[in-house]
Amino acid sequence: MDFNTLPQLDLANRSVFLRLDLNVPLLDGVIQDDTRIRAALPTIQYILERTNKLVIASHLGRPKGKVVASMSLEPVGQRLSELLQREVLLVQDYAEEPIDSLIAQLGKNQVILLENVRFHAEETEGNEVFAQNLMKGIHIYVNDAFGALHRAHSSIYEAAQQVPRESRAIGFLIEKEIAALTQLTVNVRRPYTLIMGGSKVEDKLAVILHLLEHCNRLLIGGAMAYTFLEIQGYPIGNSFVERDKRALCQSILDIAQARKVEICLPIDHVCGQSLDANTPHQVVEGIAIPAGWMGLDIGPKTIRLFESYIMNSSTVFWNGPMGVFEWPPFAKGSLKVAEAVARCNGFTVVGGGDSVSAVNQAQVAARISHVSTGGGASLAFLEGTPLPGLRVLEKRTEHGG
């Protein structure tokens, strides 16, 4: 893949459409975490140093084509204004008012922020006419919304096609993501440990199968571990099991064995009597879980085992929590894994919303080589799946066009 980067473009006095991922958590209109806004600042500031004709677009939540007040980008615009020390104009009627007329009215210290593009059904439909309206009067298209690249939405895919390929570029955040994630499959430093957690193996199947070609060890935690334990004949009590995915789990075990990838499953557990934050809980020593109990976190022996593998790694990728970490009695496994990844001297990557939350909760994000903002896009990239938002930004198509 070959893309134009910002330094390769002449931005001087040119109009720029910048697609970002400003999908921040809001509570009663107050931003709870501005990480995604801050992550976009280097790209925004680079562009503004060269032109003031900047139009920013983003989504927030899933309003399903309707105006939902709680999903307005107004708080985002206010925070952007504070960080940029510029006036951010939130434009709501851009589907009717031509973008070029808005750009013509921009003052020197003003930036346009389009209201939530998903307020329009045409966005998620990938509507070309909607994209043409967004790009009217725009010279350059820049995408820095890594977390949305797996969506063929109008502002991601169709909008980019409204300008020549030489006028399309990736932002600094996407450039950083691609560089980091590529190191997980190209010229990998070994030993390479893959850590997978979360609830559903189906969600991670493609990326596990692809990374089994590269890793040396696969550590499995979270609810998905119990399907693997069950097919190996261990009692798992009332633990969550994807009974219709047993064959998929067995195929992972078989492929791992054929490729000489070591599989490590929990050898003890923190269990509860029900899926509830206040359920009675206990440490169950050993692999077998007694009747009436369900595994909700990895146990202390498993933590030490996983830590030893992680610390003896030159490359680590972690996706998915080790338990129901949002509940304190079942958070220790995820937090200890986060701390171990941070202590590892190798190249470390954490991806996926819950894993990133665990890293932030453990306050170790600064010690991880790369914390991906991508979530689903990160996994799709690592699966080797072509991402629509990246494909449209390549300098040349597969046919050289």
Catalytic annotation, residues: 36, 200, 353, 376
Question: What DSSP assignment string belongs to 117-136?
Answer: GGGSHHHHHT-HHHHHHHTT
Question: Residue 212 and residue 218: Cα distance in Å, rounded?
Answer: 8
Question: Residue 101 and residue 382: Cα distance in Å, rounded?
Answer: 41
Contact 126, 158 (CB under 8 A): yes
Residue 261 DSSP symbol = P
Question: Rounded to whole angstroms, what are the CA distances from 76 to 24, 83, 104, 167, 388?
Answer: 8, 11, 23, 27, 26
CB atoms inside a 10 Å sphere around CB 85: 7
CA angle 29, 35, 40 (to 5 degrees): 105
Contact 1, 392 (CB under 8 A): no
